Amino acid sequence: MDDLKRYEELVKTIEYHNDRYYNQDDPEISDYDYDMMMKELKKIEKDHPEYVTPNSPTQHVGGSAKREAGVLVRHRVPMLSLQDVFSKEEVQEFVESMQETLVDPVFIVEYKIDGLSMALRYENGDLTTAITRGDGIIQGEDVTVNARVIKDVKNKLKEPIEYLEVRGEVYMTNEAFDKVNEIQELNNKKTFANPRNCAAGTLRQLDSRITKQRNLSMFIFNIQDIRGKEITTHSQGYEYLKKQGMKVIDNYQICHSFEEVWKAIEMIGESRDQLGYDIDGAVVKIDSYEQRQQLGQTAKVPRWAVAYKYPPEEKETKLLDIELSVGRTGRITPTAIFEPVRLCGTTVSRATLHNQDFIDSLDVRIGDTIIVYKSGEIIPKVKGVNKDKRPADSVPYQIGNVCPVCGAPTYQEEGTVDIKCSNPTCPSKLVRNVVNFVGRDAMDIKGFGLSYVETLIDQGYIHDVSDIYTLKDKRQDLLDKKVIGLVKSTDNLLNAIEKSKENDATKILTALGISNIGKSAAKSLMKKFKTMDQLMNASYEQLIEVNDIGATSAQILIDYFKDEKNKEIIHKLENYGLKMEIEDTQSSSLLENMTFVVTGTLPTLSRKEAATLIENNGGKVSGSVSKKTTYLLAGENAGSKLAKAQSLNIPVLSEEMFMEMIKS
């Protein structure tokens, strides 16, 4: 079989399996078999670039095809932003100015979806390119691979047309967002702050399978360019797009006067709670394309549209209770528990009240009707109290002078507003100490979640963190009482605990949860002192010589190691077989006095492997770019850290350049 025939056969076969995998969720072949076909196809395309077309499987979604992050495409039509207006008067001013300039203008009022813009280009009815807004004028990022797996994006129009470019908003429904966060929590991963952030991150995913799983949606809100069909108005365009199978903005209103425009804006505002997705305003635009052309645009915005932004979303709800929690340091934090309300895309029922001073300043009382909002549309906060709705029998709230967990006396720390529990063995402190100890950046004991921690403490198996390593001797008792679960769950946890003994003293020091001593400081300390014993006996003067350790941290360490209870725990950990020293893995001092930041996806190394190589050669790894950064080691999808490094003129290394540096 010649190359062209084999190429055509592969294209046809791969497209079939793409449809089985992405559209029917019913794959017929293994990922390996699919990858081998793709590998063969890419080789033929490399040998015969003349074969490649925009419809090749290598140019769009495949079973494991990943796009290259950061590929830019020039805009054919600018994706401008809209002029924002915030008052009824500004809307009236816009409408009246249009009426003065144009002959009998017709207005369209529609939802402003809270998502991110994407343009879709169709040639002869086939989707060829999907582009993010980017800079809005010159170029955006090619996200065609991911766009193809969004259910609302049509890969083929019902009626072929010479050329069509549309613009729409990619978003997540509240249901899809809640499901993604639920999965993130189950996998012990960071949850997303709101649907828009999640949608933005998902659209730029390297793996289109993740994009498909997260169930993005899209509304089309404009025809950017069209050839082969005459469309004269926005509303006519919507009807045409609907016939092509496209999903356009719901329930748009056609208006002829300011009164009608404002009524439509108010109706949209009143409907926000009933929608299954977030909107952040209402758009008012001229319906006629000819009149739009007549008005033109500024360098940033079209003159024929404005976006009315509703005031920040605030809602009243009833304060049901104030819950007190005790942190790892003993600090008591009050949290408002209120009747659930939907704010900026998520259902919230809790918000911190910070401390007694904050409660007093707002005069918050249980039973009050409180006003809640989201700071930066992310963090729920209590803004105030509607005292007109206050129950007659309400009383001022006081945190009190006893710990809500153990009943020990509380005290106010000097110079602060913090109220703390005085009991060093308070169970609530213990829960958080153990959670910190077993966490990913500490001892990294897989599967040791909060529920296990609370159960083991409640049932008396753990009194301090060292007791974790006595659980293996209580295996049968744990099984008999089903404390953890059946045999497999119990053994998995006990095995993970035993495996954690392989960690060196740096991990242990991080896990102890000493105030101000995180992962980076722990590495610097152990690099200097080598053993836990030497660190425990270090003087103040020796401690402040260490990078990352200032006067406050040095004194905290001195005080911590003076405490007999803390010393006893460390000695017990040593007796249970934990390593109280670090291995000297530094192979050279090549990178000494150099600070690296690692970001993005490297071709062959994980970030952890790259960090280990840097540290083994005497360098230091930091999590953020600053003037002290020597090099940025950057892979695909480097993002804001790359931009900051470039703005500070910090040299940027690829993995290949970095490996050459190490080899030299």
**Does the annotation flag 110 for ligand binding?**
yes
450 is in an annotated binding site: no
| Cβ atoms of 263 and 168 closer than 8 Å | no
- Alpha-carbon distance of 28 to 396, in angstroms, equals 66
Contacts of 102 (CB under 8 A, 6+ apart): 286, 288, 291, 294, 295
Is 34 marked as binding a ligand? yes
Catalytic residues: 112
- The kind and range of the H/E element at 662 are helix 655-663
As to burial, measured by CB atoms within 10 angstroms (0-12 exposed, 13-18 middle, 19+ buried), residue 624 is: exposed
Give the chain's largest Cα–Cα span.
89
3-state SS, residue 83 = strand
Q: Is 285 among the annotated ligand-binding positions?
A: yes
- Whether 255 has a binding-site annotation, put simply, is no
Percentage helix, strand, coil for the chain under 3-state DSSP, each rounded to 5 = 40, 20, 40
Please tell me whether 421 is known to bind a ligand: yes
Q: By the 8 A CB rule, do 21 and 63 touch?
A: yes
Q: Supply the DSSP string of 623-658, one letter for each residue.
A: SS--TT--EEEE-BT-THHHHHHHHTT--EE-HHHH
Q: Residue 330: which residues within 8 A CB-CB, separation 6 or more?
A: 420, 421, 422, 423, 426, 429
Task: Tell which residue, 308, 277, 280, 288, has the closest CA to residue 235.
Answer: 288
- Residue 257 to residue 237: CA distance in whole angstroms: 22
Q: How far is Cα 141 from Cα 130, in angstroms, rounded to an integer?
A: 8
* Distance separating alpha carbons of residues 505 and 525, to the nearest angstrom: 10
Quickly list DSSP for 108-156: EEEEEESSEEEEEEEETTEEEEEEE-TTSSSEEEB-HHHHTTSTTS-SB
E strand intervals along 125-242? 126-132, 139-141, 163-171, 217-227
Do the annotations mark residue 33 as ligand-binding?
yes
Q: Phi first, then psi: what are they for 381, rounded to 5°?
A: -140, 155
Task: Report the SS3 class of residue 305.
Answer: strand
Closest CA to 419 of 427, 430, 408: 408
Burial environment of residue 275 by CB neighbours within 10 A (0 to 12, 13 to 18, 19 or more)? middle
Q: What is the DSSP letter of 397?
A: -
Residue 627: CB atoms within 10 Å: 7
* Two structure tokens written together for 620: 């230091």
Q: Is 31 annotated as a binding residue?
A: yes
- The answer to whether the annotation marks 41 as part of a ligand binding site is no
- 142 marked ligand binding residue: no
Question: What are φ and ψ of residue 395, in 5° steps?
Answer: -130, 150
Cα-only R_g, the chain: 30
Residues in the chain: 664
Annotated binding-site residue numbers for NAD(+): 31-35, 81-82, 110, 133, 169, 285, 309
Annotated binding-site residue numbers for Zn(2+): 403, 406, 421, 426
Annotated binding-site residue numbers: 31-35, 81-82, 110, 133, 169, 285, 309, 403, 406, 421, 426
